[in-house]
Structure 1
């Protein structure tokens, strides 16, 4: 990365610090539910519906073998299930079970509630600025 201005360095440092805070919140909120942060993340991702292993691996930025082990553990706890992929009979899709959906909802609520607590005192202008900045940063490349 090329050297930037002090303002650039402060922005990057602030975003890295925010990432650490959010990761810590994931750990803090998943532990009481008997989940690792990665397991909680996987369950929350699956709230949108069943996904294939390749897509899950990409979304979660983990190797397929690590994902397979995590899915195996969650499947033994009856939180997820493997379903046949209608588009590829060799593949499967991972879906939440009823108990998995309940736990995923709890994990998501615990995480978002903690974020709401941390941001609750921000003035409306700062909230709007953060929302706009995050939308710009996370926008997919064209």
Structure 2
């Protein structure tokens, strides 16, 4: 019986992941961004990061990240800044228009999630938050 419950839980989490990815894509598209570009801009809201760290955070190869940064830089949404700790490296930071677009992307995404969860009773909300906390902390 435990295996069936685990399969049901895993299946539900996979469905949730796909739903959230779809919402991210739907939220990014009207802003002229791919979901990956929106993700990068939102990550950069926390401040400039080096390419190695961004590659790890986003779970993508550095070559793919470099191409994405190049495209966003051409759109003047991000900029390369010298890394004070390593003169051969650079850090990627949001430009002013990039910061504005990152906030728009984040708000669009969180608003969609809020719409999806609006009908959950308070007790279910608390249970979901607690379960997600346990899953993400492990």
How far apart are 1:21 and its partner, in Å? 0.2
- Deviations along 1:77-122, one digit per CA (max 9) or x if unpaired, are 0000001111111111100000000000000000000000000110
* 5+ long unaligned stretches in structure 1: none
The alignment partner of 1:78 has SS state of coil
How far apart are 1:126 and its partner, in Å? 0.8
Match in the other structure for 1:50: 48
* 5+ long unaligned stretches in structure 2: none
The alignment partner of 2:82 has SS state of strand
CA RMSD of aligned residues (A): 0.8
Larger helix share, 1 or 2: 2
Residue 37 of structure 2 corresponds to residue 39 of structure 1: yes
Match in the other structure for 2:127: 129
Structure 1 CA distance for aligned equivalents of residues 79 and 133 of structure 2: 33
Match in the other structure for 1:99: 97
Poorly superposed stretches of 4+, deviation over 4 Å: none
How far apart are 1:124 and its partner, in Å? 0.7
Match in the other structure for 1:65: 63
TM-score normalised by L of structure 1: 0.94
The alignment partner of 1:122 has SS state of coil
Match in the other structure for 2:76: 78
